[in-house]
Amino acid sequence: MDWKKLCADVAEWAEAHRDEFIKDVSDVCRIRSISHNQLDCTNAPFGQACRDMLDKALEMSSAYGFETRNYDNFCGSAVYGDNPDNDSIGIVAHMDIVPENMCNLANDAGGWTHDPFDPILSEDGKYLFARGTCDNKSCGIMALYAMRYLKEHNIKLKNNVMLVYGLNEEIGMRDMPEFLKREKHSKIYLVPDAKYPVCISESGNSRYGLESAKLEDSNLKDIWSGVSNDDWCDATVSVPSKEAYAVLSGVDPVVAQWATKFYDHTKVETLENGDVKIIVEKDEKITASARLCHVLAKCGLIKDPKTMEVLNWLDWYTSDTTGAHMGIACDDGPNAPLSIRFNYIRLIDKKIVLYTSILWPSLADKEKILAKAEETWAASPMEVRQRRRLDGYYIDPKDPRVEKLARIAKDVLGREDIPYLTEGGTYAQILPNAIPYGATVPDRVRLFGMVKGGAHQADEYCDIPNLLINMQIYVRALIELDEMYSK
């Protein structure tokens, strides 16, 4: 096939459908599809908004002439082709989002400058602003348009193309196991939730929710650190906050000032009811959570032994992000070394709650790491109430599929990029034979630097010209993968 001519034809078709594409992306971004786990609700296992999102995506796909399938409202798909055995090349995009407030408190960027669910197109027509435009709704619609091109140009493939609309990627990926129970597995899945040319490795990630016993006699009245998408029992998406604080009763404000004066980035306020509020800030080396735990453990303002036992342990646990203190530090490659995050701390029903995660290189001995973690929890004054685990993802950079996909991206984009690694996690950690592929083009324009405009950030936006180019990449990739999987 003349790939140069094909890409030129796709580019012309994509440009002719630019306004329609922008409208479709805008329509799905108006839906506040924040996923909530309510799996016992068969009508909407991830909440009504996600059900509405699924209905909209399937309605749109059906209107363009594709067969649609609903997998008991856990997710859905649009299918192109008539393979008698239902063999397929898969594409999986997620249509759920994180809340619009997730990163507002995490940095100095501030919040949204407009309604995040009322999409706005920039005056030059290049950027569409709304929650979910970058991550990941525009990528799902881009894939739908790649399928439209194949269908409208009567390009017949030996395998079907199946576009899956996920609804729970951001808070646990519970949708994909349900999908795999209900649908024949595709021969390969492309996941447009990364960047080009190809992602070859994602870190493993084990997440824990821990809580203390009830602290009935404590003068610790409140503790707050981190921003989350949900209550702590489902705090699978959390980010560190710039500040953290604790509220103490029965403490003389003058004594509190003296007790905390030697700690950096720490201040004390007196509340109207006479309680004192200790506020700390993060810096380049220490998170707000770690600093707050250290100050509370060492300042001498809390007398209850049970509370101090918890705070002393938290001070120890948050003092090291490498895992060396737990005996799990490792750098086994190919990703970054093991790291520990402790973004979220609360006082709920008189219990101190911690949400923490351990990220490890995809080739590390995960069973050894997780066994050591369990030993740590067992020896702590806290109890594990939640465990979530993603085992990481790795594919050999010399795998023929990686080489093919990287070559296609290079040919279309005209860039000499190499396959890359990330700490992030996508559906590739759940689906068999999945490869994160696009849809972000390397060196995309960052209108506000790195603190706004991206995934999970205020004023999130997608790049319309790059998404139109993505259609060229995906059309060609689907054709070439179909040839590869038809031999």
Cβ proximity of 190 and 406 under 8 Å: no
The Cα–Cα gap between 356 and 354 comes to: 6
Neighbouring residues of 319: CB distance < 8 A, sequence distance ≥ 6? 290, 294, 325
Neighbours of 2 (CB within 10 A): 8
CATH number, residue 168: 3.40.630.10
Please report, as a single letter, which amino acid is at residue 297.
A
Co-location of 53 and 189 in the same domain:
yes
Q: Do 97 and 231 fall into the same domain?
A: no
| Spatial separation of the C-alpha atoms in residues 305 and 275, rounded to whole Å | 20
Domain tally, the chain: 2
Q: What DSSP letter does each residue of 156-181 carry, written as one string?
A: --SSEEEEEEES-GGGT--HHHHHHH
Contact between 445 and 358 under an 8 Å Cβ cutoff? The reply is no
Which distant-in-sequence residues (6+ apart) come within 8 Å of 464 by Cβ? 18, 21, 22, 125, 126, 127, 128
Cβ–Cβ under 8 Å, residues 96 and 53: yes
Residues 400 and 364 in one domain: no
Contacts for 269-273 with beta carbons within 8 Å, 24 or more apart?
A: 271/247
| pLDDT of 33 | 97
Neighbours of 305 (CB within 10 A): 9
- Go through 32-48 and write b for each residue having 16 or more CB atoms within 10 A of its CB, e for each that does not: bbbbbbeeeeeebbbbe
- CA torsion angle 308 309 313 316 (round to 10): 50
Residues 220 and 171 in one domain: no
Residues 241, 322: one domain? yes
282-309 tens-digit pLDDT: 988 899 999 999 999 999 999 999 999 9
Residues 214 and 342 in one domain: yes
DSSP 142-158: HHHHHHHHHHHTT---S
Per-residue confidence (pLDDT) for residue 100, from 0 to 100: 61
Per-residue pLDDT of the chain (487 residues; tens, 9 = 90+): 899 999 999 999 999 999 999 999 999 999 999 998 887 888 999 999 999 999 999 999 999 999 999 999 999 999 999 999 999 999 999 999 987 656 544 444 568 899 999 999 999 999 999 999 999 999 999 999 999 999 999 999 999 999 999 999 998 899 999 999 999 999 999 999 999 999 999 999 999 999 999 999 999 999 999 876 554 445 455 667 889 999 999 999 999 999 999 999 999 999 999 999 999 999 888 999 999 999 999 999 999 999 999 999 999 999 999 999 999 999 988 989 999 998 789 999 999 999 999 999 999 999 999 999 999 999 999 999 988 899 999 999 999 999 999 999 999 999 999 999 998 899 999 999 999 999 999 999 899 988 899 998 889 999 999 999 999 999 999 999 999 999 7
Please, which residues have CB within 8 angstroms of residue 306's CB and are 6 or more apart in sequence? 212, 213, 215, 217, 218, 381
226 shares a domain with 176? no
Other Cβ atoms less than 10 A from the Cβ of 356: the count is 22
The residue range of the domain holding 362 is 205-390
Q: What amino acid is encoded at 311 in this protein?
A: L
Among residues 330, 356, 390, the one where a domain terminates is 390
Q: Are residues 362 and 413 in the same domain?
A: no
Last residue of a domain, one of 390, 422, 443: 390
Q: What is the pLDDT of residues 101-136, one digit of tens each?
A: 565 444 445 688 999 999 999 999 999 999 999 999
Based on the fold, state whether residues 56 and 100 are members of the same structural domain.
Answer: yes
**pLDDT at residue 101, rounded to an integer:** 58
**Is 477 found in the same domain as 466?**
yes
Q: Are residues 260 and 198 in the same domain?
A: no
Q: Looking at 339-425, which runs of residues are DSSP E strands?
A: 339-348, 351-360, 382-390, 393-394, 420-422
* Measured distance CA(182)–CA(70) in Å, rounded: 10
pLDDT tens string 176-207: 999 999 999 999 999 999 999 999 999 999 99
Owner of token pair 């909440």: 47
* pLDDT at residue 237, as a whole number: 57
User: Which residue among 359, 390, 421 closes a domain?
Assistant: 390
Give the per-residue pLDDT at 238: 64
> Which neighbouring-strand residues pair with 121?
128
How many other CB atoms are there within 10 angstroms of residue 294's CB atom? 20
Q: Which helix (H) or strand (E) holds 31?
A: none
Helix residue spans in 17-109 (DSSP H): 18-29, 48-63
Same-domain status, 154 and 250: no
Angstrom distance (rounded) from CA 397 to CA 374: 33
